[in-house]
Amino acid sequence: MFWFLVLIVFIMAYHLYTIKYFKYWERKGVKQKSTYPPFGDAADTLIKGYPFSEAVMRIYNRFPNSRYTGFYQFSIAVLMLRDPDLIKQMYVKDYEHFLDHTQILSTDIDPMWNKNLFSLKGQKWKEMRSTLSPSFTSSKIRQMFVLMDKCAEYFMSNMTQTCEDLMEMDLKDVFTRYANDIIATTAFGIQIDSMKERDNEFYIRGRQTSDFTGFWKHIRLTLSVFIPPVGKIIKGAIFDDKVSTFFRKIIKQTLEYRQTHNIDRPDMLNLLMNARKEKEETKIKENSYSAVEEQLESKLFQKTKMDLSLEDITSQALFFFFAGFETVSSTLCFMAYELATNPDVQRTLIEEFDEFKSKNEEVTYEGLSKLRYFDMVLSETLRKWPVMNILERKCNKPYIIQPKFIDETPVHLTTDNSVWVPIWALHHDPKYWKMPEKFDPQRFSSENKEKIVPYTYMPFGVGPRNCIGSRFAIIEIKVIIYRLLTNFEIVPIKRSVIPIELNRNSFILNAKNGFWFGLKKRKASNNL
């Protein structure tokens, strides 16, 4: 009798728990599917083993005729937006209601992470964004382009010195080392050759900031995000103590040296040092479809400058490393994969490069920005392989989604709610993209790009919290691809995995078995 009563109590408690947490959207009149307590829809990745991108797509496809759907990450209620007009309304027009990100990790778990631009909230975020924005304008990145190109040129010179006609390599390893060296020189003012010095500490620490491929690290971070009390015990931080200490030491020493010797260098650290100063900015008109709008003139960012402490500068620089290291290297890998498996596209791109090189003695920021087909190839890469699968916002002011169709009722959002825009799913929806799995740069031609439905292509986000470093990332990618293809062709080899098998234990889009391809020396190339 005793165990029977215990069983009854357990069943009742489980039923009440399920109703309280996992019927939340149903009570609000939002369509949802039954889920798996206590994991919610996170069970798709944690238990069923789906890659995160596929798990997002599965939720997106549940109710194809709905503008939104509800789901659960553990007991956290999340609303997924499916309708481009609704995305525009909530993320752009009504952005003040969705200005913040949900706190990923508590300050107790990762204090350095919570000081960066991504994690800051409300007025503190506005002040930091306003302070940093002048550092990421076209004119500032133009100054840093010289450092980027020198790094890319030197990086490629090591590879062109080989006597082999065909080099087989994991391009993931190559491109992460390139991204590391670019960030080292443009952000921290440090010259590193990670192809030769393969185990340099800067590269090792950089890998630690962005490597989420390990199963247990994936589990630790997931538990830290969704169950903070557990996170405090297992210390599932993004920036662990060793990483934070290493970068804090480098930045402190560099700042002191520059101030003592009055050194002015066109890199990110110098821009962060001077970010509090108001300066006239000259805009450069670009041809990049992917780059997001600059926000300098927005009323949101006026008159909110702030001074940056050592901790602030360290946190921003460390996040810049985190945001650029894996995302840039992965985008380069996916572009290389598409060029290798679509030789006609690669041939057309090489022809554009060769024509450009025949007319220009040197590579410039403006020159690369005007290469039209190059931008089409990059834009299509970012469509098919958006490294970040979602845009996430927290409802920071109560909000009502007004009904538009007969089966809808007003949806009242509270400050407990999280809202997701499924970038991957929208980029692969056949409703907006014909044959979405096909790599077709012509989607972004001058004739076709006007046909793209607004807010169905968002590789760098939308609204005031879009990616502040999009222009930096774009030119960083372009300069190395240009240098690479003026010397080599990218070709499949026996170790190439075609089609790609995505890594199931990574939040960021990545391949399971690396990106093994061959670099074949071009016979008629005008080498560096």
Q: At what angle do helices 470-485 and 343-359 cross, to 10 degrees?
A: 90
| Backbone φ/ψ region at 303: left (φ over 0), alpha (ψ -120 to 50), beta | left
Please enumerate in sequence order all residues whose Cβ is within 8 A of that of 42, keeping only pairs 6 or more positions apart, or say none: 72, 73, 74, 222, 226
Residue 395, annotated as binding a ligand: no
> Could you tell me where the beta strands, DSSP code E, fall in 293-346?
none
CA 438 to chain centre: 22
Q: CA–CA separation, 436 vs 429, rounded Å?
A: 7
End-to-end CA distance of the chain: 84
Does the CA dihedral 193-194-197-203 come out positive or negative?
positive
Q: At what angle do helices 310-341 and 201-210 cross, to 10 degrees?
A: 80
Map tokens 């805009």 to a residue. Answer: 283
Longest dimension (CA), the chain: 90
**Beta-strand pair 76-81/418-422:** parallel
DSSP 3-state helix, strand, coil percentages of the chain (rounded to 5)? Answer: 50, 10, 40
In 3D space, the residue among 122, 213, 143, 217 whose CA is nearest the CA of residue 176 turns out to be 213
| Residues 477 and 145: beta-carbon distance below 8 Å | no
> Could you tell me where the beta strands, DSSP code E, fall in 399-498?
399-401, 411-413, 418-422, 488-491
| Residues 59 and 52: beta-carbon distance below 8 Å | no
User: What is each CA distance from 332 to 132, 240, 258, 338, 449, in whole angstroms?
Assistant: 26, 27, 33, 10, 22
Q: In 3-state terms, what secondary structure has residue 510?
A: coil
Question: DSSP state, 453?
Answer: P
Does the CA dihedral 4-9-13-16 come out positive or negative?
positive
Q: CA–CA separation, 226 vs 233, rounded Å?
A: 13
| Residues 401 and 410: beta-carbon distance below 8 Å | yes
Binding region for heme? 467
Binding region? 467
